[in-house]
């Protein structure tokens, strides 16, 4: 009984923090006089057409009760079941006096786990508005709420943003409780801890962080909790909001928190000693801290045998490199260092650029920008049309541009290669980051040639070594060297060699058991 009281008082406190608290008589308690209470509730939310009120009379004393719910949101089956049950029991034929009534309802009439008490009108209405059914009983000070919003959920399907050849075909959905439940089912360990917070000043949303309590570095956990609780925002729409509000450097093009729809990825991360963050209403979970090389890895690297995993991973590093530097290197070769490339290549490039009216930089810009536009256009359209956009853009415009002599054929190859390579980076936002940086690299190359490319590399390096994700150097284990972690960097060593958790995370329990 005491904990209930404490909980409700806490809720009152929370309520007082609300910005519109001053406007409403916030602390108005539910008095127990059903008419007065109902009037207050109606005044607060009765103007909504989807809020329904249904009156019953209960027990031999015909005590008036009112059920308040939101049509379509509340779980009607639950309401029907329990209200009918309650009415049928009819107080066991006893006359229940007012001070027993509350306990009777709690213990006998509505023996459901989700029954909660609301002491003020305000907390009552806010529960109702988020999907619970509210119950007001004559003579009981304080209302009851039960059930939660009927979950509008879809099936757990394979996440479209991270499809894989091999691996579990299941992804998170928009319901937090399902997601955490899914993680628990997979983890099957009692040390998986899930702590939840209510974040958002106007619309409260549940945010949960998951970690393995005897692995995670307590300092990291503290830091994540500190940053989450510090969030001050109206409403969290998507986990991207959290990402942006807890990241280290908002000026960096690189994602400092990883997002994923895959429970296996989250599980692997928490087992390494990272922390996962879930938000209700989005299938995207966040993982922190993140390092640069995580952006180029997929869970599949671990599911396939180590040689395949290593090779594919190396391929991805190569594609990241190509995606970032190819146009810049092309520009510097074509307009600065024609002496470095093979003689025959010089001839064919020179021949293909014959008659092209633009300098290489403009040429690259035209093509790169148009390919970005094509990508964007294809993305937003229905799938069937999206494909035809690809054909029109890629084939027809590309071919026509070459025919018209606006761009050179070799340029088209360069742009196509960079586009494909940037799509092969598993993390969507990392791919975009590289594409953005590619343009900067191109400008450097257009002014300084290869020297500019090196300057860009140094600048990028300088930025990356200064960047941290939750206190962890972004480039580790490359820099600073953590030789132990190199087994799982560019190559993916055989599993029996990876007996240790990542050194960089400074986990409590170093060995994988």
Q: Does 486 bind another protein (CB under 8 A)?
A: no
Q: Does 455 bind another protein (CB under 8 A)?
A: yes
Spell out where 25-81 has E strands: 51-58, 63-70
Task: State the minimum distance, in angstroms, from the CB of residue 510 to another protein.
Answer: 18
Among 116, 262, 353, 375, binds another protein (CB under 8 A): 353
Grouping H, G, I as helix, E, B as strand and the rest as coil, residue 463 is helix
- Using CB atoms within 10 A of its CB, is residue 499 exposed (0-12), middle (13-18) or buried (19+)? exposed
Among 31, 443, 503, 506, binds another protein (CB under 8 A): 443
Q: How many other β-carbons are positioned within 10 Å of the β-carbon of residue 199?
A: 23
- Angstrom CA distances, 359 to 57, 349, 437, stand at 85, 13, 20
261 near 253, Cβ under 8 Å?
Answer: no
Cβ proximity to another protein, 172 vs 330, nearer residue = 330
Interface pattern 207-246 for another protein (x via CB under 8 A) = ----------------------------------------
Task: State the minimum distance, in angstroms, from the CB of residue 235 to another protein.
Answer: 29
Instruction: Please give the radius of gyration of the chain, using alpha carbons only, rounded to the nearest integer.
Output: 30
Q: Does 459 bind another protein (CB under 8 A)?
A: yes
Task: State the minimum distance, in angstroms, from the CB of residue 252 to another protein.
Answer: 10
Among 321, 347, 423, 428, binds another protein (CB under 8 A): 347
201 near 234, Cβ under 8 Å?
Answer: yes
Phi/psi at 305 (nearest 5 deg)?
-65, 160
Q: Does 317 bind another protein (CB under 8 A)?
A: no
Among 115, 271, 311, 475, binds another protein (CB under 8 A): 475
Q: Does 458 bind another protein (CB under 8 A)?
A: yes
Among 337, 381, 387, 388, binds another protein (CB under 8 A): 337
List the Cα angle 127/129/134 in 5-degree steps: 55
Select from 36-44, 126-134, 202-210, 359-367 the region that touches another protein (CB under 8 A).
Answer: 359-367
Residue found under tokens 């999907």: 131
Q: Does 403 bind another protein (CB under 8 A)?
A: no
CA-CA distance, 485 to 501, in Å (whole number)?
Answer: 8
Q: Does 91 bind another protein (CB under 8 A)?
A: no
Q: Does 404 bind another protein (CB under 8 A)?
A: no
Cis peptide upstream of residue 403 (ω within 30 degrees of 0): no
Cβ proximity to another protein, 283 vs 360, nearer residue = 360
Select from 5-13, 77-85, 422-430, 479-487 the region that touches another protein (CB under 8 A).
Answer: 479-487
Q: Retrieve residue 198's tokens.
A: 């209510």
Cis peptide upstream of residue 480 (ω within 30 degrees of 0): yes
Q: What is the DSSP string of 233-282?
A: -S---SHHHHHHHH-S-TT-SS-SSEEES-HHHHHHHHHHT-EEEEETT-
Task: State the minimum distance, in angstroms, from the CB of residue 484 to another protein.
Answer: 12
Q: Retrieve residue 432's tokens.
A: 């975009």
Q: Does 359 bind another protein (CB under 8 A)?
A: yes
Cβ proximity to another protein, 245 vs 465, nearer residue = 465
CA-CA distance, 459 to 324, in Å (whole number)?
Answer: 14
Q: Retrieve residue 389's tokens.
A: 């956009």
Q: Retrieve residue 28's tokens.
A: 């108005």
Task: State the minimum distance, in angstroms, from the CB of residue 482 to another protein.
Answer: 9
Select from 194-202, 212-220, 478-486, 501-509 the region that touches another protein (CB under 8 A).
Answer: 478-486
Grouping H, G, I as helix, E, B as strand and the rest as coil, residue 504 is helix
285 near 260, Cβ under 8 Å?
Answer: yes
Select from 200-208, 240-248, 425-433, 453-461 the region that touches another protein (CB under 8 A).
Answer: 453-461
Select from 101-109, 152-160, 262-270, 332-340 the region that touches another protein (CB under 8 A).
Answer: 332-340
Cβ proximity to another protein, 184 vs 484, nearer residue = 484
Cβ proximity to another protein, 215 vs 331, nearer residue = 331
Terminal-to-terminal C-alpha distance of the chain: 42
Among 79, 257, 349, 401, binds another protein (CB under 8 A): 349
Give the up-direction half-sphere exposure of residue 183: CA atoms within 13 A in the CB hemisphere: 34
Among 279, 446, 487, 489, binds another protein (CB under 8 A): 446
Q: Does 457 bind another protein (CB under 8 A)?
A: yes
Q: Which residues contact 9 (CB under 8 A, 6 or more apart)?
A: 119
CA-CA distance, 105 to 114, in Å (whole number)?
Answer: 13
Spell out where 10-50 has E strands: none
Q: Does 406 bind another protein (CB under 8 A)?
A: no
Task: State the minimum distance, in angstroms, from the CB of residue 222 to another protein.
Answer: 16
Among 90, 405, 481, 509, binds another protein (CB under 8 A): 481
Among 18, 177, 189, 338, binds another protein (CB under 8 A): 338
Task: State the minimum distance, in angstroms, from the CB of residue 446 to another protein.
Answer: 6
- Angstrom CA distances, 156 to 134, 172, 174, 259, stand at 31, 6, 10, 17
Cβ proximity to another protein, 379 vs 483, nearer residue = 483
Restricting to residues 362-391, name those near another protein by CB under 8 A.
none
Task: State the minimum distance, in angstroms, from the CB of residue 39 to another protein.
Answer: 57
Give residues in contact with another protein (CB under 8 A): 251, 334-343, 345-356, 359-361, 440, 443-444, 446-455, 457-459, 461-463, 465-466, 473, 475, 478-481
């Amino acid at each position: 009984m005491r904990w209930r009281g404490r909980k409700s008082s806490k809720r009152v406190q929370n309520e007082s923090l609300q910005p519109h608290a001053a406007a409403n008589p916030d602390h108005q308690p539910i008095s127990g006089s059903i008419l007065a209470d109902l009037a207050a509730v109606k005044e607060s939310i009765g103007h909504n057409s989807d809020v329904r009120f249904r009156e019953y009379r209960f027990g031999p004393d015909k005590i008036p009760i009112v059920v308040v719910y939101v049509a379509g949101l509340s779980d009607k089956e639950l309401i029907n079941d329990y209200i009918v049950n309650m009415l049928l029991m009819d107080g066991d034929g006893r006359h229940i006096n007012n001070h027993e009534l509350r306990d009777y309802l709690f213990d006998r009439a509505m023996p459901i786990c989700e029954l909660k008490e609301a002491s003020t009108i305000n907390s009552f209405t806010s529960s109702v508005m988020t999907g619970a059914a509210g119950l007001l009983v004559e003579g009981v000070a304080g209302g009851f709420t039960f059930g939660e919003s009927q979950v509008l959920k879809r099936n757990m399907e394979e996440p479209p943003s991270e499809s894989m050849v091999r691996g579990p075909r299941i992804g998170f959905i928009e319901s937090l409780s399902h997601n955490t439940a899914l993680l628990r089912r997979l983890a099957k360990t009692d040390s998986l801890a899930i702590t939840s917070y209510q974040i958002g000043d106007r619309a409260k949303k549940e945010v949960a962080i998951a970690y393995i309590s005897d692995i995670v570095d307590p300092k990291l956990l503290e830091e994540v909790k500190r940053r989450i609780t510090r969030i001050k925002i109206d409403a969290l729409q998507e986990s991207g909001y959290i990402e942006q509000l807890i990241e280290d450097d908002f000026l960096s093009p690189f994602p400092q928190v990883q997002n994923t729809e895959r429970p296996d990825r989250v599980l692997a991360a928490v087992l390494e000693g990272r922390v996962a963050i879930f938000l209700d209403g989005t299938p995207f979970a966040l993982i922190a801290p993140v390092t640069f090389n995580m952006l180029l890895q997929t869970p599949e690297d671990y599911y396939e045998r180590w040689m395949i995993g290593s090779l594919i991973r190396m391929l991805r590093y190569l594609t990241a490199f190509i995606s970032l530097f190819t146009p810049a290197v092309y520009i510097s070769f074509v307009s600065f260092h024609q002496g470095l490339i093979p003689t025959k290549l010089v001839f064919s490039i020179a021949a293909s650029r014959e008659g092209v009216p633009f300098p290489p930089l403009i040429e690259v810009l035209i093509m790169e920008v148009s390919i970005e536009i094509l990508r964007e256009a294809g993305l937003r359209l229905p799938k069937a049309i999206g494909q035809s956009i690809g054909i029109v853009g890629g084939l027809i415009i590309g071919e026509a541009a070459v025919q018209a002599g606006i761009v050179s054929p070799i340029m088209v190859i360069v742009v196509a290669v960079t586009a494909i390579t940037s799509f092969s980076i598993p993390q969507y936002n990392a791919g975009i980051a590289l594409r953005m940086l590619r343009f900067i690299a191109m400008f450097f190359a257009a002014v300084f040639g290869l020297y500019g490319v090196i300057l860009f590399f140094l600048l990028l390096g300088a930025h990356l070594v200064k960047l941290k994700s939750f206190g962890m150097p972004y480039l580790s284990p490359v820099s600073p060297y953590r030789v132990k972690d190199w087994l799982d960097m560019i190559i993916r060593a055989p599993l029996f060699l990876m007996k240790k958790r990542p050194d960089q995370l400074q986990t409590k329990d170093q060995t994988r058991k």
